[in-house]
Amino acid sequence: MGGGQRFMMLRIKQFLAMAGLTALEAIRQPICLLLSAGCVVLIAAVPLMIMHTFGEDGKQVRDSALAFHFVFGLFIAGHASGTLLSHEMKSGTASAVLSKPVSRELFFLSKFTGITVVVMLFSMCAAIATLLSERVAEKFYFTNTLTGYITDTQTGAMLFGAPFVACLVAALINYRFKRPFASTAFVMLLFSLLFVLVMSGFFERNGTWMPYDFHVQWRIVPVSILITMALVVLAAIAIALSTRLDTVPTLVISSTVFLLGLMSDYIFGRFAENSGFSAFLYMVVPNWQHFWAADALSGGGNVPWEYVINAGLYAAAYSTGILCLGMFSFRHVEMK
Amino acid sequence: MDEQKENDVIVEVHNLVKVFKDFWQRPKVRAVDGLDLEIRRGEIFGLLGPNGSGKSTTIKILLGLLHATSGNVLVFNRSPRDVEIKARIGYLPEESYLYNYLSPCETLNFYGRLFDLKNSVRKERIWQLLEMTGLTHAANRSVGEFSKGMARRVGLAQALINDPELVILDEPTSGLDPVGCRQVKDLMLTLAKRGKTIILSSHLLADVEDVCDRIAILYNGSIKALGSVNQLLEKQESVRFTMPSLSPDVMKKVLELIREKIGKEPEVDHPSMNLEQFFLEVVEKAHKATSQQSGVAPTERMADYLLIKDK
């Protein structure tokens, strides 16, 4: 292996080690488990809570579940990005790592990647919970033996129980093998949701056995992917800010950017044609509306994959720009 | 010539100045003020000084963690911001900066991966270091649950995972019990014998006196005294003899002769064991008599790879 290749391999190994550690650090924090499990429980509880929907249960559940995914995801992405790097710089672990043969750029990027992994794992949990919750919601059912509105209580019970089973298994693993509870429960949550997704495929909505069929609306998946992209962009903004700011200012500014981005079409977009300044702000502030496509699913609609790819390119370009600024800032920061 | 210089001088600092600035970029503190220093291969160099004298700031500039306001700094004849040279350095920070959710084993594995150590080498070194620091029984507990002394030991182990040529230890014995302190001092002496260079920053003057070849005393960011420990501490005007006890007659004669020559009464006393030696003996006896261990297991063992002579 040549010198250049060896150098590259070393950098990749260092990158993977640091990104892995960041993800591990994030999921070992109890708040990560609390937010993820809380989100899943709320998504599972949506079909029980909504009433008087005039046959729109599926839509209501879908919209609410996706909103929970977005809001809880924002907390996880914002908290992890806003606290991990600034905490490392304040506690000195960043100094300890940067005293090793690790470049600052690599360290910064690995932190972002680690957080992105956590955001993706959370999004997988939320997306599976949304698929299942939508299946649980009361729908009109028509077979030879039964006609009427049916709630899939069996899947609902399994979905509702998944976070509790995950915590129970994690507690047993902690007792038996002394593995950390929070991270084990987080991973178990994902596995238990996957298990429920697979198991629910064996049952009809009325609880009888049937030939294997998932019976979930896969068209929700592109919408969940779009939400995940928004969370990754927000994570990039928060981590870039945290190179210079403390946790509280980082979270305040990230939240402000989020709110401005939500209203971007209204407060900047409509003036963009006539005002250069508004056009600039409209371009610079991330437009979260691009990533919220739940309405496209009403009336049996779909989000085309071309749209998802284009939104992905927008998210990638925006994140790259923000991360470059973050890297530049981190390169010159002094480690206390 | 340059190669020869690199072989001899490991750290070179000329007229180093570090000024910390406030949010508006106005000068706030002049932490280092015109520091000149040369540290040579194989020596144990002590940086002494009261709090805020610029010791830790100097160390962080040597590691490229802080940027010098002016002056030249070379480590292994290269800029401290050069990432490559850090593969040859081991650093124990003033506080044990560790990831609280990781165990000692995971911590050392992580740092080992940053140096691209092969799996087998990494595993071997991790266990040798855990044995050396007496933490094998706590290898899988979270570092966050550790006492300060135990965390310090993990910090020391991570500083040595890459078998560094230059070891920078900032207050290495802080929080350690006397057994740990002695062990760290023995470790420094062993590493120096192997040709490693050690920079030791400490408030504990006895520790510095025990192991350092040369010291610099910093005050307000500049060096107030620099030289070998013996040179700085030796009292040229006095002499001390140590010998087996003499019979009263011989003693009387010797004292009379000395009194006659110097014209005043000489001081005579019995050498005593110092408290550190006494403590270590008591703990060793207690350890031999006990089978169970909850804290750090006292050990005199060094990690094998740290004892292998460089080719």
Are B203 and B171 in contact by the 8 Å Cβ rule? The answer is yes
Q: In which residue are the tokens 């004849």 written?
A: B77
Residue type, A58: G
Distance CA B212, CA A66 (A): 64
Distance CA B115, CA A100 (A): 8
Per-residue pLDDT at A141: 65
Distance CA A42, CA A130 (A): 10
Q: Given pLDDT bands bounded at 50, 70 and 90, which one contains residue A214?
A: confident
Distance CA A334, CA A325 (A): 16
Q: Which residue of A has its CA nearest to B93?
A: A96
Q: In which residue are the tokens 């830790």 written?
A: B56
**Could you read off the pLDDT of A256-309 as tens digits, one per residue?**
999 999 899 899 988 988 889 999 999 899 999 999 998 888 877 889 999 999
Residue type, A333: V
* B101 near A CB under 8 A: yes
Per the structure block, which two tokens stand in for A293? 């496509």
User: Is the pLDDT score of A326 beyond 60?
Assistant: yes
Sign of torsion over alpha carbons A245, A247, A252, A255: positive
User: Is the pLDDT score of A58 beyond 80?
Assistant: no
* B66 near A CB under 8 A: yes
User: Is the pLDDT score of A5 beyond 90?
Assistant: no
- Interface touch A100/B111, C-beta < 8 Å: yes
- Interface touch A17/B110, C-beta < 8 Å: yes
H/E element, A315: helix A305-332
**Could you read off the pLDDT of A224-260 as tens digits, one per residue?**
999 999 999 999 999 999 999 988 898 899 999 999 9
Per-residue pLDDT at B4: 58
Residues of chain B with pLDDT under 70: 1-7, 275-276, 290-300, 309-311
Q: Which fold has domain B2-236+273-307?
A: Rossmann fold (3.40.50)
Per-residue pLDDT at A215: 80
Q: In which residue are the tokens 């030796």 written?
A: B234
Alpha helices for chain B (secondary structure H): 2-8, 55-62, 104-114, 119-132, 148-160, 178-193, 205-211, 229-233, 248-262, 275-289, 304-307
Q: Report the candidate in A191, A208, A192 with the shortest Cα–Cα distance to residue A159.
A: A192
Per-residue pLDDT at B202: 85
Per-residue pLDDT at B128: 92
- In this complex, the residue of B65, B83, B99 whose CB is nearest that of residue A95 is B65
Q: How large a percentage of chain A has pLDDT more than 90? A: 60
Per-residue pLDDT at B229: 81
| CA separation, residue B204 to residues A158, B49, B95, B209 (Å) | 62, 10, 15, 9
- Interface touch A93/B84, C-beta < 8 Å: no
Residue ranges per domain, chain A?
A: 11-332
Alpha helices for A178-275 (secondary structure H): 181-200, 220-241, 247-262, 264-267
Q: Which of residues 124-163 of B touch A (CB under 8 A)?
A: 140-142, 158, 162
Distance CA B190, CA A246 (A): 43
Which of the residues B18, B25, B89, B113 would you substitute to probe the A interface, choosing the one with the greatest number of A C-beta atoms within 10 Å?
B113
Q: How large a percentage of chain A has pLDDT more than 70? A: 94
Residue ranges per domain, chain B?
A: 2-236+273-307
For A22-51, the three-class secondary structure string (H helix, E strand, C coil) is HHHHHHCCHHHHHHHHHHHHHHHHHHHHCC
Are A113 and A22 in contact by the 8 Å Cβ rule? The answer is yes
**Could you read off the pLDDT of A86-139 as tens digits, one per residue?**
888 888 899 999 999 999 999 999 999 999 999 999 999 999 999 999 888 876
Per the structure block, which two tokens stand in for B158? 């991570």
Per-residue pLDDT at B311: 47
Distance of CA A119 to the CA centre of its chain: 4
- Interface touch B113/A13, C-beta < 8 Å: yes
Query: How far from each other are the two terminal CA atoms of chain B, in whole angstroms?
Result: 22
* B278 near A CB under 8 A: no
As a whole number, the mean pLDDT across chain A is 89
- In this complex, the residue of A13, A21, A101 whose CB is nearest that of residue B83 is A101
Is this complex's ipTM strictly greater than 0.85?
no
SS3 B31: strand
All residues of chain A having their beta carbon less than 8 Å from the beta carbon of residue B93 are 92, 95-96, 99
- Interface touch B114/A14, C-beta < 8 Å: yes
Are B48 and B208 in contact by the 8 Å Cβ rule? The answer is yes
Are A18 and A107 in contact by the 8 Å Cβ rule? The answer is yes
Are B216 and B226 in contact by the 8 Å Cβ rule? The answer is yes
All residues of chain A having their beta carbon less than 8 Å from the beta carbon of residue B142 are 180
Cβ-based neighbours of A74, under 8 Å, separated by 6 or more:
A231, A234, A258
Mean pLDDT, rounded, for A146-166 = 85
**Which pairs with CB-CB distance under 8 Å and at least 24 residues apart come from A317-321?**
A318/A233, A318/A236, A318/A286, A319/A232, A319/A233, A319/A236
Question: How far does B101 lie from chain A, in Å, by closest CA?
Answer: 7
Q: In which residue are the tokens 């010159």 written?
A: A332
* A18 near B CB under 8 A: yes
Mean pLDDT, rounded, for A179-196 = 94
Per the structure block, which two tokens stand in for A232? 């990754």
